[in-house]
Structure 1
Amino acid sequence: MATGGGNLGSVVVAVDGSEESMKALRWALDSVRLRPDGALVVLHVQPRPGIAAGLNPGPIPFGGPREVEVPAFTQAIEAHQRRITEAILEHALKICAEKNVEVKTEVVVGDPKEKICEVAAELKADLLVMGSRAIGPVKRMFLGSVSNYCINSVGCPVVVIKGT
């Protein structure tokens, strides 16, 4: 982390496993100056199991119950999501260790764009750092951009490290 006195108390770096988010983490580790009592928080938002699966079991036809919970399916997806989260944080913490910087980690479950903004607000972040994937305009129109949402919704400055 950059030397010298800093004036930032709380910096949140959102990581999602993409190389762009890891570039954002590296940028923060190299560029951000924290107060002595400051903290750099590596945040990962784990999608809800239904979002992660991209599908829900359909309703049972011919008058069956409309809401069907498939516990084994849901548990398998949740376990898979936990493994993904662990791998992402392990990679992020390895990058931090290489730069000899201690960070805090936080994992929340939900919609990434909303949760990133919520955590930044809860932690009273002075800065949010995140990566941005190079998605095309059509995809962005339909899916939206997490970084664009955060830029327009969070109450602190945002640094976006763009993908190539």
Structure 2
Amino acid sequence: MIDKILLAVSGLGHAEEMLKALKEVPSIKSAKVTVLHVVPSQSTANAMTEKWEEGGKILANAIQTLNLDPSQVSSILRQGDPKDVVCQVADEIDADLIIMGSRGLKRLQSILSNSVSQYVFQLSSRPMLLVKDDIYVKRINRVMVAMDNSESAKHCLSLALFLLRGIEGGQLILANVNTDLRGKSSELNEVTPDKNPVLAAAVAEATRQGVKARCFSSSGKPGEEICRLAEELSVDLLLLGSPDRRPSVAKSFVDIDRLIGSSLSDYVRVNATCPVLLARTTS
């Protein structure tokens, strides 16, 4: 399910560490990796030459840090707007997963600062793993999926089960939040899935694939509760579905209203204390 990974590097952050952790996962070991660095256009030829040389060093350092089998990794150094180039290369190689660093900027800040990761997530239908600069990347063992009845959540469940395949002692955590917009949080409860159809179906699928699953529920504001559950349960990787709310006539434009408005995926990517894999189903 994840055979081709695009790793976008900028010389800063934990994206390379995240890929190294992923490559320890049995189901990912044979995946091909493309490491991309984008050199923004410069106003003079000398400045462009300097940036190009600097970009080559960043790529070389990333490849050295990853220490992967040479047959499994390739590199691309390209000039252009990073936001556009990442999307273009992901399409060119038909990437199953994009990994990028993120400064964890809030929505309005993302717009004003021209956030690359926010732009790519808005415009790409491919799963995207965001790794904030201020988190600690751990070995992947405990994977959490925020479950509801959406197709994007079911897609995340499939990705989580794929990742957990072959991980000895791996654990799937299924979290279901009852929305209470007043912000009153409940206790964190481990529950049996028999009275919750969404969790029951997810547990049945996990059991069928030989993955141990635990179910937790809480109530409150969904974004806050998902982040709280992930932190309290020491989750190594959080998967969250994100419905594609972009109008079909505006697929090539960033949905500014959605960026400024209330968005569960935006809240979680900014506030979660672990890496976040955001995925949506394609129409």
Structure 1 residue corresponding to 2:179, chosen from 37, 44, 47: 47
Give the equivalent residue in structure 2 for 1:17: 149
1:11-160 equivalent positions in 2, closer than 5 A:
11-32=143-164, 36-48=168-180, 86-136=196-246, 137=255, 140-141=258-259, 143-160=261-278
Task: Mark the CA change 1:108 to 1:148 in structure 2 (over 3 Å): closer, same or farther.
Answer: same
Deviations 1:62-90 (CA, angstroms, capped at 9, x unpaired): xxxxxxxxxxxxxxxxxxxxxxx711111
**Aligned 8 A contact 1:15 1:44 in 2:** yes
CA apart distance, 1:114: 0.5
CA–CA separation in structure 1 for the residues paired with 2:258 and 2:159: 24
Deviations 1:2-22 (CA, angstroms, capped at 9, x unpaired): 747993232211111101101
CA apart distance, 1:37: 4.0
- Residue 280 of structure 2 aligns with an amino acid whose one-letter code is K
**Aligned 8 A contact 1:10 1:34 in 2:** no
Which stretch shifts more, 38-47 or 20-29? 38-47
Task: Mark the CA change 1:117 to 1:36 in structure 2 (over 3 Å): closer, same or farther.
Answer: same
**Aligned 8 A contact 2:182 2:221 in 1:** no
Task: Specify every segment of 5 or more residues in structure 1 that has no aligned partner in the other structure, as ranges.
Answer: 52-84
CA apart distance, 1:95: 2.0
CA–CA separation in structure 2 for the residues paired with 1:147 and 1:32: 23
Task: Mark the CA change 1:50 to 1:150 in structure 2 (over 3 Å): closer, same or farther.
Answer: closer
TM-score normalised according to structure 1 size: 0.67
CA apart distance, 1:36: 3.5
CA apart distance, 1:35: 5.6
Give the equivalent residue in structure 2 for 1:65: none
CA apart distance, 1:162: 1.6
Larger Cα-atom Rg: 2
**Residue identity (%):** 28
CA–CA separation in structure 2 for the residues paired with 1:108 and 1:11: 18
Task: Mark the CA change 1:50 to 1:121 in structure 2 (over 3 Å): closer, same or farther.
Answer: closer
CA apart distance, 1:129: 0.8
Task: Specify every segment of 5 or more residues in structure 2 that has no aligned partner in the other structure, as ranges.
Answer: 1-24, 30-137, 184-194, 247-254
How many positions carry a matched residue from both structures?
130
Larger RCO of the pair (alpha carbons < 8 Å, separation 6+): 1
CA–CA separation in structure 1 for the residues paired with 2:26 and 2:226: 27
Compute the RMSD of aligned alpha carbons.
2.9
TM-score normalised according to structure 2 size: 0.41
CA–CA separation in structure 1 for the residues paired with 2:169 and 2:205: 22
**Aligned 8 A contact 2:182 2:220 in 1:** no
